[in-house]
Copies of this chain bind each other. A is one copy, B any other.
Amino acid sequence: MPDFGPDLAEVFGPAAADGGPDLVQLLTPEGERVHHPEFDRDFSAEELRGFYRDMVLTRRIDTEATALQRHGELGIWAQLLGQEAAQIGAGRALRPQDYVFPTYREHGVAWCRGVDPLHLLGLFRGVDHGSWDPKDHNFGLYTIVIGAQALHATGYAMGIQRDGAVGTGDHDRDAAVIAHFGDGASSQGDVNEAFIFAASYNAPVVFFCQNNQWAISEPIERQSRIPLFQRALGFGFPGVRVDGNDVLATYAVTQAALQRAREGSGPTLVEAYTYRMGAHTTTDDPTRYRLSDDVERWKLKDPIARVKVYLTRNGLADDDFFASIQAEADDLGHRLREGCKALPDPKPLSMFNHVYAEETDELRQQREGYAAYLETFEGAR
């Protein structure tokens, strides 16, 4: 029997619980700073405190939203608990001119792009399908159909190429796109086609996959029998696995991948190896399909705790700092609770708006017919 080469599943994985030997890490779960031959970099105290702040506030957005859902104020909420470092690391690596294509869980990246979290709450409350202006933040609307946005990101990156905003060396001009998606999404045709188009056109796009080990109840093993970052090999561009619970490493790797794209060297796949600590969404019940042991093990790798240890141990932040962040989080929580409840319900007739840039007569008639119908209930409704 000829040898087809080593068993790739044995060589590459299956995904080791600690992320395996290829995992890029700069800060261990214990808060120890380690170094990496390729992706090391210095971080100022200010940067580190900034990461900490972003992660704490992002987590607060998440816990407030979860609570609001429990109280019936939101229809559903997609929790990011445990994925704060992956999102803040990626979000902070962006420049203003870069463009983000998020999933429905990118609350931390939205935060980095200056999107008011109330917009996110509005969507999950059912007030609208997304109310921020993508152009104001270079942050697209949440995409719910799994994987669709990977192609949008690639096309947007092709647009950047056509605008001559790649590889000019101009720091403020050269731009990249980041496409967020999950481990489950890696199985969709659209995501793989995005790899193909991006490779074919050498488009300036970073594919940022948060491998949180689960796609609702399906474990990562159902989607790939080798570590996901290796997928890129098959398409002819680099893939990197980074500790997605390590904000420093995620920042460094994403930043390097974005820079590569901006310089015109094409796409990169970044696999942020992390864990979905919560349920898939507030309607999910993970006890049906996973062991609490796993969750416990991952608690030890909390993305925020390790930064706090590092800041404290190295005298980069004091109690006042932590207290001030705590206060800021409390304020934010308060603002979100109040703001969410105060979000006005859309007017019934507004549902007819924006179907088209140029409304059709047909639709105008439907709107008018419904308006007339509603008037017959005058007062009753």
A-side residues, CB < 8 A to B, are 1-5, 8-9, 12, 38-39, 187-190, 192-193, 196, 199-200, 202, 221-226, 230-238, 240, 252-253, 256-257, 259-260, 263, 268
User: Are B4 and A240 in touch, CB under 8 angstroms?
Assistant: yes
Q: Give chain B nearest CB distance to A241 CB in angstroms.
A: 12
Cβ 8 A contact of A233, one of B8, B39, B193, B268: B8
Cβ 8 A contact of A235, one of B4, B234, B256: B234
Q: Which of A4, A187, A231, A260 has the most CB of B within 10 A?
A: A4
User: Are A8 and B189 in touch, CB under 8 angstroms?
Assistant: no
Q: Give chain B nearest CB distance to A204 CB in angstroms.
A: 14
User: Are B234 and A230 in touch, CB under 8 angstroms?
Assistant: yes
Q: Give chain B nearest CB distance to A224 CB in angstroms.
A: 7
A298 to B232, CA, bound (A): 32
Tell whether A231 pairs with B222 under 8 Å between CB atoms, given A1-B259, A189-B188, A192-B193. no
Tell whether A189 pairs with B200 under 8 Å between CB atoms, given A2-B256, A38-B3, A233-B230. no
Q: Give chain B nearest CB distance to A190 CB in angstroms.
A: 6
Cβ 8 A contact of A8, one of B237, B252, B253, B260: B237
Number of identical monomers bound together in the oligomeric complex: 2
User: Are A193 and B200 in touch, CB under 8 angstroms?
Assistant: no
User: Are B188 and A200 in touch, CB under 8 angstroms?
Assistant: no
Name 23 interchain pairs, CB-CB below 8 A, sorted by A: A1-B256, A1-B259, A2-B256, A3-B38, A4-B238, A4-B257, A5-B238, A8-B236, A8-B238, A9-B236, A187-B193, A187-B196, A188-B189, A189-B190, A189-B193, A196-B224, A200-B224, A200-B225, A225-B236, A226-B236, A230-B234, A231-B234, A234-B235
Q: Give chain B nearest CB distance to A240 CB in angstroms.
A: 7
Least CB separation from A238: chain B residue: B4
A3 to B38, CA, bound (A): 6
- In the assembled complex, which residues on chain B have CB atoms less than 8 Å from the CB atom of A224? 196, 199-200, 235-236
A318 to B12, CA, bound (A): 52
- In the assembled complex, which residues on chain B have CB atoms less than 8 Å from the CB atom of A235? 224, 226, 231, 234
Least CB separation from A231: chain B residue: B234
A259 to B200, CA, bound (A): 34
- In the assembled complex, which residues on chain B have CB atoms less than 8 Å from the CB atom of A196? 187, 223-224
A221 to B236, CA, bound (A): 12
Q: Give chain B nearest CB distance to A329 CB in angstroms.
A: 34
A89 to B164, CA, bound (A): 48
A12 to B268, CA, bound (A): 17
